[in-house]
Amino acid sequence: MPPKTDFSNIGFADFQRMASDSKLSRYEKIGFPDTYREGQEEEIFLDICAKLTNLSGKARRVVDIGPGCSDLPFLLIDLCARNQHALSLLDGKEMLSQLPDSEDIQKIDTLFPNCPSFLAEEKGRIDAILCYSVLHYVFEEGSVFRFLDEALSLLAPGGQLLIGDIPNISKRKRFFASDTGADFHRAFMKTDDAPDVRFNVSNPGQIDDAAIFGLLQRARSAGFDAYVVPQSPKLPMANRREDILIVRP
Footprint of ligand SAM (CB under 6 A): 12, 15, 30-31, 65-68, 70, 72, 90-92, 95, 111-112, 132-134, 137-138
- Least distance (Å) between residue 194 CB and ligand SAM: 30
Least distance between ligand SAM and beta carbon 137 (Å): 4
Contact 234, 161 (CB under 8 A): no
Q: Which is nearer to ligand SAM, 65 or 181 (CB)?
A: 65
Specify the DSSP class assigned to residue 86.
E
> Measured from the CB atom, is 111 or 181 closer to ligand SAM?
111
The CA distance from 231 to 46, in Å, is 11
Handedness of CA 171, 174, 179, 181 (dihedral sign): positive
Query: With respect to ligand SAM, which residue has the nearer C-beta, 28 or 127?
Result: 28
The answer to whether the CB of 60 falls within 8 A of the CB of 128 is: yes
Q: How far apart (Å, rounded) are the C-alpha atoms in residues 185 and 202?
A: 22
CB distance 212 to 198 below 8 Å: no
| In the complex, least distance from residue 186 CB atom to ligand SAM, rounded to whole angstroms | 28
Q: How far is CA 99 from the centre of its chain?
A: 17
Residue among 47 and 181 whose Cβ is closer to ligand SAM: 47
Q: How far is the CB of 98 from ligand SAM (least distance, A)?
A: 9
Q: Taking the complex as a whole, how short is the minimal distance between the CB of residue 108 and ligand SAM, in angstroms?
A: 9
Least distance between ligand SAM and beta carbon 140 (Å):
9
- Residue 229's CB is within 10 A of a number of other CB atoms, namely 13
The DSSP element (H or E) to which 246 belongs, if any, is: strand 241-247
Output 195 or 231, the one with its CB closest to ligand SAM.
Answer: 231
Cβ atoms 17, 98 nearer than 8 A: no
b/e 147-157 (16+ beta carbons within 10 angstroms → b): bbebbbebbbe
* Closer CB to ligand SAM, 77 or 95, in the complex: 95
